[in-house]
Amino acid sequence: MEVSLSDCVFCKIVAGQIPAKKVAESEKSLAFFDVSPRQPLHVLVVPKNHHDNVADLAFSDPEALVDLIQLGSKIANDHAAGSFRLTFNTGSDAGQTVFHAHGHITSKSLKETSGN
Ligand code: AMP
Ligand code: ZN
């Protein structure tokens, strides 16, 4: 199914047209809490520019992918108690439901000091 960029929910969040609980941002990436968290920590990190999935992002803007991973790692360091997962569902059969590249930062345990 084709989704036009003007309908992309994560482009709208980046543009401030849809509210999101923002966690952090960098020049190229934005992080916000997942609206339906599946772990005690569940943050999404997205490139500010639209790419359909992480594979497209890797080929068309590898610096933005590194930036996304670095921002996600900092968030995990601030909020998770040591261990975390960074996952990218790629393609609908793999569970991708929003076709704007995004990494899920998830962790089973939060830092005591996390304001999450
Ligand atoms: P995926 O299934 O890997 O494409 O992940 C998409 C994620 O985006 C899901 O975990 C949704 O809960 C989350 N999501 C969808 N819409 C929003 C939104 N408006 N704000 C925050 N998270 C969202
Ligand atoms: Zn988008």
Report the predicted TM-score, pTM, of the whole model to 2 decimal places.
0.94
What is the reported pLDDT for 112?
82
What is the reported pLDDT for 82?
82
Q: What strands, in cross-sheet order, belong to the sheet with 41-47?
A: 22-25, 29-33, 41-47, 103-107, 85-87
Domain ranges of the chain: 5-107
pLDDT mean values, one per 10 residues, the chain (116 residues): 73 97 98 97 98 98 98 96 94 97 96 67
What is the reported pLDDT for 6?
74
For residue 103, the cross-strand partners are: 45
Nearest CA to ligand 1 atom 3: 96
Q: Is the CB of 15 under 6 A from ligand 1?
A: no
Architecture of domain 5-107: 2-Layer Sandwich (3.30)
Residue ranges in the chain assigned as alpha helix (H)? 9-14, 54-60, 62-79
- Where do we find the tokens 């939060």? 110
Which ligand minimizes its atom distance to the CA of 95? Answer: 1
